[in-house]
Amino acid sequence: MLTFTTDVRMGKVPQIFASSAGHGEVAQSQGSGGGGPVEAVFWIKDVMTQWRFKGKAYIIGPDIDGTGEEGSGVRTVKSIVGAGMRVVKEEGKGDWSWQREVSAHFGNLSPSMRGNFKNPAPGTLMGTSPKAGEGLGQKVSGPLEDDEVAKRNFRVVVIKADEVEQLDFTDPDKARRWKFTYVGAEGGELGEWNKEELWP
């Protein structure tokens, strides 16, 4: 599954919730959940190949490992995204948690990039006063848990693809295209992909 990070104040977050099967509202988009349809396209020039991923996007927020009763968004993420996950190494499996994974994504960013989550809300007018703790040019060198402003705004988005297309332009005169469609899992396995070659 593909992952990327975003700011909860960006328009894409409520759009992912609103376009999901549950048609979530803006208030729900502050936590985990979603499931709206998305496409992501990558052009890899070195190998002259384009990849197109079609699937659903799920948002992971600070409520993912919260205390108390889990909301429907948290249950959705854990069930749907969790079903597509696999154990890479048995060692350390017991130490894994959803929140630890979110923190690791934050830790992979440079201090300047982490500081972006403390900027004033993206897309607001320049004359609007920033909220407490917000401002341009900040750097965050510590973990996500130590910065309340960054933690409030930081999200991880997971794209669970059900269709992938590969378009190979290695030889422009003989371009090739394949479609991989997820056909599901049997017996608790992660599932299989059906591969078809298409006209480019």
Taking only the tens place, the pLDDT of each residue in 51-72 is 999 999 999 999 998 777 789 9
Mean pLDDT of 92-117: 95
Fold assignment, 2-96+150-198: Pnp Oxidase; Chain A (2.30.110)
Exposure string (b/e) for 76-90, b if CB count within 10 Å is 16 or more? bbbeebeeeeeeeee
Taking only the tens place, the pLDDT of each residue in 8-65 is 999 999 999 999 988 877 778 999 999 999 999 999 999 999 999 999 999 999 999 8
pLDDT at 144 (0 to 100): 96
Average pLDDT, rounded, for the chain: 93
- Beta bridge mates, 4: 157
- What type of residue is 155? R
Cβ atoms of 31 and 25 within 8 Å: the answer is no
Task: Using a pLDDT cut of 90, give the percent of the chain over it.
Answer: 80
d(CA 183, CA 191): 7
Stated pTM of the model: 0.91
Q: Pairing relation of β-strands 154-168 and 192-198?
A: unpaired
Domains of the chain, by residue range, sit at 2-96+150-198
pLDDT at 69 (0 to 100): 79
